[in-house]
Amino acid sequence: MAAHHWEALTGACKAWTGSRSSARLQGLF
């Protein structure tokens, strides 16, 4: 259960970081 929670948390972090990086790229161009 803890592993599943950690996996979900990591997935959310990756999704948030990806959206932030894509937004930054859009701001550059």
Residue-wise pLDDT for 10-27, tens only, equals: 988 888 888 887 777 777
Give the per-residue pLDDT at 18: 80
Angle made by CA atoms 20, 22, 25, in degrees to the nearest 5: 110
Encoded tokens for 25: 């790229």
Res. 29: pLDDT tops 70: no
CA distance 20 to 26: 10
Is the whole model's pTM more than 0.85, yes or no?
Answer: no
Give the per-residue pLDDT at 26: 77
Give the per-residue pLDDT at 4: 82
